[in-house]
């Protein structure tokens, strides 16, 4: 979809997208149950009355060969027509898209939008026989905690030899070797003592970055997977935190490196000591220094080799594996986030990533069918998200990055997440194009549960990226209203800043409440309440309605509810949408932002104020 101008100015064209046909995988268009192989699934397409289609066909792909299925006209009124096609689920993942036969040619409709040309299959809609993420993720608000920087319990922990003890109120280094060893002393009992803050904010799921012993504060260089780091309180502290979290009807998710260990890991030590040992088969070896393969060529992170069957048994396969053990009592984790999941099992000619993801999912399902499996993948994760392995991905590509380019402070010097350039400032059309480009490569059941983030422990802070607190609220407004699972990094809710991932790992300023941005905190609380009170924002489909340089608007819809969301980074001309989107004899109900829609005879007028977020219930 190419809409509007790329100039970024408020005088750029406003694109109205509601006059385009639409389909997504939500309940309005597709039955919300997992189909069986061989089943026929009715899929529905909405076509506005302004279109001039002579017929609608659905192109499916069966055993890698396309087939055309006719769609029947199911219903119509003065505003739109609904077509239904019966799609056979012949393969575990069945792709399809619509063809509109029109005077003078045809157009294709896929996940990226409408196209008056031929297109690839990459963005086709998908039906999958693989079960979706657990239902509780529909309602979840996830809170990421970097344990060393969240809260100290007061328990005595002697700093290890590698650590540089650092006062709690001292800012962390943004660059350099010291970033991995600045030790602030946060621990798991400290997190347990702060659960009231999480409940007050409204989050219900805690995601902990790694908790295994290591030689760094980030702990992605584990020295064992058999126990919890004593610096964090050890096994008993994790068991206690888990019990306290679950007593509050919250959930707890761990973080693990299936791709590598630390160079100090007990397996690697045995491998170095005895090249004939079983553990020696767990790693990749080479002639060049240092003699083994490290993740990203970093010697402290030797890469695991999943050609070794015993490694799979110890790490990922079965209840006695590392993955399985921490899902069982007394720890009872509710799932795992897998670090650099896209690289796990991939090296040279080896590519075991999908098999590893499926094995982890099977292990987790046998212990706790409601456990969630989330991958870390910074770029195009589509090929890894068929639905049979990772339930969802940390959604940098389809959410974080495009949102940053729309809201970034124009004068920022910040680098753009691995690209050797500053974060570019782009208009609303570029943001929407990018979101649709990446979002269209995965099944809807994955889109609906992707972990959307404004930032994480690996990125600059959103407050630093956008600068203006008003734009933080706009960013948060999108976080809590687009499809997916909202994830916030501890401290974002109070306006913590940081120019890099390491520099953004700021200790929570519990002793300095005067430093908290209370406006941001209250905005987060209100937006979380809004999401919880509105089923359409948790489970609804999504139709882009208006795209302008400085504002975007979209609809979230279920069978029983329609919500309009408008986000503006600054003043813009405003726009009109069709009056029939509002329920007959009803008035728009403002749910957030306080502005009014003007109801005309045939249109609803969206005000052009900004920056800000407005949300209305229309049906």
**Active-site residue (options: 80, 339, 492, 502):** 339
- How far is CA 264 from its chain centroid? 32
3-class DSSP state of 236: helix
User: Cα(33)–Cα(36) distance, rounded to whole angstroms?
Assistant: 9
413-420 contacts, C-beta under 8 A, 24 or more apart = 414/460, 414/464, 414/465, 414/499, 417/378, 417/459, 418/378
3-class DSSP state of 514: helix
Structure tokens that stand for 387 in this block: 């639905």
Neighbouring CB atoms inside 10 A of 286's CB total 10
Task: Compute the C-alpha angle 455/461/466, nearest 5°.
Answer: 100
Structure tokens that stand for 283 in this block: 């790693």
What are the strands, taking DSSP E only, across 167-319? 182-183, 205-208, 251-256
3-class DSSP state of 383: helix
Structure tokens that stand for 85 in this block: 């096609």
Phi and psi, residue 175, nearest 5° = -145, 165
609 within 8 A of 571, measured Cβ to Cβ: yes
User: Cα(605)–Cα(593) distance, rounded to whole angstroms?
Assistant: 16
341 Cβ neighbours under 8 A, 6+ residues apart? 258, 259, 353, 357, 375, 376, 377, 384, 390, 393
Task: Compute the C-alpha angle 601/598/16, nearest 5°.
Answer: 80
**Active-site residue (options: 80, 255, 317, 376):** 376
Which uninterrupted H or E stretch holds 403? Answer: helix 401-407
Query: Where do we find the tokens 């055993």?
Result: 63
User: Cα(15)–Cα(2) distance, rounded to whole angstroms?
Assistant: 9
Q: Is there a catalytic annotation at residue 339?
A: yes
Structure tokens that stand for 219 in this block: 């702990």
The total number of residues shown for the chain amounts to 619
Query: Where do we find the tokens 């990421």?
Result: 144
Beta strands at 93-102 and 55-62: parallel, antiparallel or unpaired:
antiparallel
Q: Is there a catalytic annotation at residue 297?
A: no
3-class DSSP state of 469: helix
User: Cα(64)–Cα(93) distance, rounded to whole angstroms?
Assistant: 11
Q: Catalytic residue numbers?
A: 339, 376
């Amino acid at each position: 979809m190419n809409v509007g101008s790329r100039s970024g100015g408020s005088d750029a064209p406003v694109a109205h997208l509601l006059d385009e046909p639409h389909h997504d995988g939500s309940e309005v268009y597709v039955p919300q149950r997992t189909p069986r192989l061989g089943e026929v699934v009715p899929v529905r397409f909405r076509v506005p009355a302004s279109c001039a289609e002579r017929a609608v066909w659905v192109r499916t792909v069966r055993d890698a060969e396309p087939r055309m299925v006719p769609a029947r006209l199911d219903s119509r009124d003065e505003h739109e027509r609904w077509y239904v096609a019966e799609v056979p689920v012949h393969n575990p993942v069945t792709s399809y898209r619509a063809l509109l036969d029109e005077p003078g040619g045809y157009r294709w409709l896929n996940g990226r939008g409408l196209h008056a040309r031929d297109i690839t299959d990459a963005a086709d809609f998908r039906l999958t026989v693989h079960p979706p993420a657990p239902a509780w993720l529909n309602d979840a608000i996830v809170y990421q905690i970097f344990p060393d920087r969240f809260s100290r319990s007061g328990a005595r922990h002697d700093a290890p030899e590698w650590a540089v003890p650092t006062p709690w109120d001292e800012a962390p280094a943004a660059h350099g070797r010291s970033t991995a060893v600045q030790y602030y002393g946060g621990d798991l009992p400290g997190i347990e003592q702060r659960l009231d803050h999480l409940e007050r904010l409204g989050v219900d799921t805690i995601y902990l970055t790694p908790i295994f012993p290591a030689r760094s504060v980030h702990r992605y260089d584990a020295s064992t997977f058999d126990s919890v780091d004593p610096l964090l309180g050890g096994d008993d502290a994790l068991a206690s935190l888990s019990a306290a979290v679950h007593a509050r009807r919250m959930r707890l998710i761990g973080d693990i490196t299936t791709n590598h260990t630390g160079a100090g890991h007990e397996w690697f030590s045995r491998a170095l000591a005895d090249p004939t040992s079983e553990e020696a088969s767990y790693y990749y070896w080479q002639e060049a220094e240092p003699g083994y393969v490290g993740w990203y060529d970093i010697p402290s992170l030797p890469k695991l080799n999943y050609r070794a069957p015993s490694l799979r048994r110890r790490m990922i396969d079965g209840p006695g594996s590392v993955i399985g053990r921490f899902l069982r009592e007394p720890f009872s984790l509710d799932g795992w986030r897998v670090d650099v999941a896209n690289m796990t099992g991939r090296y040279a000619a080896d590519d075991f990533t999908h098999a590893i993801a499926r094995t982890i999912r099977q292990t987790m399902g046998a212990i706790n069918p409601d456990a969630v499996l989330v991958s870390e993948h910074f770029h195009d994760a589509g090929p890894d998200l068929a639905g049979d392995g990772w339930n969802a991905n940390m959604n940098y590509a389809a959410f974080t990055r495009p949102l940053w380019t729309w809201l970034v402070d124009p004068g920022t010097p910040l680098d753009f997440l691995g690209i050797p350039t500053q974060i570019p400032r782009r208009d609303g059309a570029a943001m929407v194009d990018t979101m649709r480009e990446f979002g269209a490569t995965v099944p809807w059941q994955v889109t609906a549960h992707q972990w959307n983030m404004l930032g994480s422990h690996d990125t600059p802070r959103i407050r630093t990226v956008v600068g203006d607190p008003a734009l933080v609220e706009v960013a948060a407004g999108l976080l809590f209203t687009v499809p997916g699972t909202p994830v916030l990094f501890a401290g974002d809710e109070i306006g913590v800043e940081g120019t890099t991932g390491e520099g953004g790992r700021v200790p929570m300023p519990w002793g300095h409440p005067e430093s908290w941005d209370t406006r941001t905190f209250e905005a987060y609380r209100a937006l979380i309440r809004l999401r919880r009170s509105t089923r359409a924002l948790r489970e609804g489909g999504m139709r882009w309605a208006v795209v302008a340089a400085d504002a975007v608007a979209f609809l979230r819809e279920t069978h029983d509810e329609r919500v309009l969301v408008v986000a503006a980074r600054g003043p813009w001309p405003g726009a009109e949408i069709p009056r029939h989107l509002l329920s007959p004899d009803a008035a728009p109900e403002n749910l957030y932002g306080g502005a009014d829609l003007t109801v005309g005879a045939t249109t609803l007028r969206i005000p052009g104020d900004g920056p800000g977020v407005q949300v209305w219930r229309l049906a």
